[in-house]
Structure formats: C-alpha cells, structure tokens
Structure 1
Amino acid sequence: MTLAEGVQLVLFGLLAALVIGTALGVVLLSNIVYSAFLLGGVFLSISGLYVLLNAGFVAAAQVLIYVGAVNVLILFGIMLVNKNQPFTPVRRGWIRLIATGGVCFGLFTLLSTMILGTPWQISTDTPVGDGATVLIGLHFFSDFLLPFELASVLLLMALVGAIILARREFVPDEPTTDTIAEALKLPERPRELVPAGREGSESPEG
C-alpha cells in the first residue's frame, strides 16, 4: 500500500464516521434546529466522499444544491413556522428513542450486509474526465428525468407548505361556514396608510 492509498483510506474512514455520526444526530436529537444543521454536515461529508472518488463536479453540485439550497430551505421552513405553544414532555419518550435507534441500526445492518455481499469490481473503463458534465446532463434528461422532476415538485411543495404554516396566524382556529372558503386566502397584515407628502414633514420641534 502506497502513501496515497493510505491517506485515501484514512480520509474515507473519517468521512464515513462523520456521515454515520451526523445522520444519527439528525434522527435522535429532539431539537429540530440542531437536526437541520447536522443534516448539512451529512451533505458535506458525502461531498467529501465524492471528492475521493474523483467526482469533482458531483461534489460541487452536492454542496451547491443540497447544502446551499435544500438544507437552507429546511432551515427557512423551520424558522417560518412560528407557532408558539408550551412544550409538553412526552410520556415514555425514551421508548421512541430506543425504537428509532433500533430502526437505524437495522437499516445500517441491512446496508452493511448488502455492501459486504456485493462482488465489487473495479471498472477498467477510461475515465470520462472533463466530459462528466455532459454525460451527467444526458442521463438527467433521459434515464433519470422523472425522479429529477419529482424532486423539484417535492421541493416546491415543501416551500408552499412552509409559507402556509408561517401565515396560519391569520386563519381562525375554528372556521365557520363563512370562513372556510376564505381560509386559504391568507389576508395581509393591516398596515397604517401614510398620505403622500406627510412622511418626514413633521419635525420634533414643539
């Protein structure tokens, strides 16, 4: 084993540990803000794995799209949901944590078994190199067009849902027959109108 292979193996181990640790934090932490930030750590660690695979364009796209767009959208959605209510501790909440940890451990075991049981073979094809962007674009708009568009629709639904949840303070808690039809119109907050020419004309002199 050469020095470069040893460094690559150590970096792979560190990035894999970061991916697993931050992913467990996303699932197990009770603070949703911390979970959102740890999700950004998962995306960054995965981009590092792409760098080790000599997929620089995919790593840059991972940072720009997932960290710079998806994760920021999730954080904005959390901040826009401004529903104030007292926190009530859940009875026997530790059971949920144990169940969540068990599900995560089961998925990890299943994926590990699949990885170890798969006969991996190193490809002997010539690397695409600078033509990787063209090849990825061709696959996006041919083989993976439907999943690509479904992901875009999912992000749009998340954005619209965050806006509606953020403005639920304008919707009555118990709508009547007259207000059900207008519940989704979400009227703007009333503003005080200032006549033209009077703004800044009043001076503090008595």
Structure 2
Amino acid sequence: MNLADGVQLVSLIVLAVMMIGSALGVVLLSNIVYSAFLLGLVFTSMAGIYILLNAGFVAAAQVLIYVGAVNVLILFGIMLVNKREDFLPVKNAWIGKAATAAVCLGLFVLLGAMVLSTPWALSAAIPTGDDAMVVIGKHFFSDFLLPFELASVLLLMAMIGAIVLARRDFLPDELAEQNGRGSTALTLPERPRELVSSGVSSSKEN
C-alpha cells in the first residue's frame, strides 16, 4: 500500500465514522434543531465519500442541493414555526419505539446483505471524472427528465409551505385586544403609519 492508498483508506474511515455517528445523532437526539444540523453533517460526509469515488460532480450536487437547499429549508421550517405548547406524553410510546427499531434493524440487515452480495468491481466502460458529467447530463435531460422536474416542483412546494407556516403567526393577546381583532388574528403586526394629505404637506413646505 502506497501513501495515496493509505490516505484514501484513512479518509474513508473518518468519513464513514462521521456519517454513521451523525446519522445516529439525527435519530437519537431529542432536540430537533440539533438533529437538523447533524443531518447536514451526514450530507457533507456523503459528499466527501463521493469525492473519494472520483465523482466530483455528484459531490458538488450533494453539497449544493442537500446541504445548501434541503437542509437549510428544514432548518428554516423548524426555526420559523412557533411551537407554543409542549408535546403531550404519548401512551404506550414504547410500542412505536420498538417498531421503529425493528424497521431500522431490518433495513440495516437488508442493506448489509446487498453490500456483501454485490460485486463492486468497476468496469473499464464506466465513465469517471469529467466524462461522467457528460453522461449524467444526457440522462438528466433524456431518460430522467420527468423525475428531475418533479423533484424541483417538490422542493418548490416545500419552500412555499415553510413560508406559509412562518407567516401564520398568532398575535399576542394584548396586541390583538388593542387592535380589536380578537385572539384569532393570523396576520403579522405592522408598524403604524401616519397618513398625510397633499394639502397638509404643501402648507408645511410653504
């Protein structure tokens, strides 16, 4: 093993440990904000693994789309939605946790079996590096055009939903009573403005 192979092996181990640890933090932490930040770290670790696989375009798309768009959208949705009431304790919550653990264990066994049974030897006909960008672009605008456009529409819908949830902010009770709108107002408070007529403004100027 030469120096380049050793650096790649160490980088792979570090990225794999970082990705697995962050993924466990996303699932196990009770603070949803910390989970969202760790999800961004998972996406970043995956981009690093793509770089080790000589897939620079996929790594850049991973960072731009998932870290720069999807994860930021999740953080905005979490931070802009005001949660005024604490979550009520769920009866028999251990059933849901046990079912979730069983599903995760089943997926882990299935993916592990797939990884062990798949021949990972690369063929010489598979393009890598800059040639892969040309092939990916051809597939995006020919075979996978409809899923590509549907994914963009889905991201747009998620962004609009986050904006709507952020704008539907209840006014405080004191401000709502002053405005006479009641406690069901769904508009954001605006700064009061004085309306000045043209005649008054012209007299002040004279």
* TM tier relative to shorter chain: 0.7 to 0.9
Q: How far did 1:77 drift?
A: 1.0
How far apart in 2 are the matches of 1:44 and 1:144?
Answer: 25
Q: What does residue 21 of structure 1 align with?
A: 21
Q: What does residue 59 of structure 2 align with?
A: 59
Deviations 1:35-73 (A, max 9, x none): 111110110000000110111222122112211111111
Q: What does residue 34 of structure 2 align with?
A: 34
Once the two structures are overlaid, the 10-residue window that deviates more, 90-99 or 17-26, is: 90-99
Q: TM-score, normalised by structure 1?
A: 0.77
How far apart in 2 are the matches of 1:88 and 1:124?
Answer: 58
**Number of equivalent positions:** 184
The one-letter code matched in structure 2 to 1:151 is A
Deviations 1:152-201 (A, max 9, x none): 11111211222222233469xxxxxxxxxxxxxx6564541223599xxx
Q: What does residue 164 of structure 2 align with?
A: 164
Structure 2 unaligned segments of length 5 or more: list them: 172-185, 201-206
Secondary structure class of the residue paired with 1:152: helix
How far apart in 2 are the matches of 1:56 and 1:120?
Answer: 19
Distance 1:49 1:196, change over 3 A: farther
How far apart in 2 are the matches of 1:15 and 1:106?
Answer: 24
The one-letter code matched in structure 2 to 1:162 is A
Question: Contact conserved, 1:28 with 1:100, CA < 8 A, in 2?
Answer: no
Distance 1:88 1:188, change over 3 A: closer
Structure number with the higher helix fraction is 2
1:21-170 correspondence runs (5 A): 21-125=21-125, 127-169=127-169
Secondary structure class of the residue paired with 1:121: coil
Q: How far did 1:75 drift?
A: 0.6
Q: What does residue 181 of structure 1 align with?
A: none
How far apart in 2 are the matches of 1:129 and 1:163?
Answer: 38
Deviations 1:123-163 (A, max 9, x none): 22374543433332211111221221121111112112222
Question: Contact conserved, 1:27 with 1:100, CA < 8 A, in 2?
Answer: no
Secondary structure class of the residue paired with 2:148: helix
Distance 1:24 1:69, change over 3 A: same
How far apart in 2 are the matches of 1:196 and 1:74?
Answer: 43
Q: What does residue 2 of structure 1 align with?
A: 2
Secondary structure class of the residue paired with 2:85: coil
Q: What does residue 178 of structure 1 align with?
A: none
Q: How far did 1:5 drift?
A: 2.0
Overall identity of the aligned pairs, in %: 67
Q: TM-score, normalised by structure 2?
A: 0.77
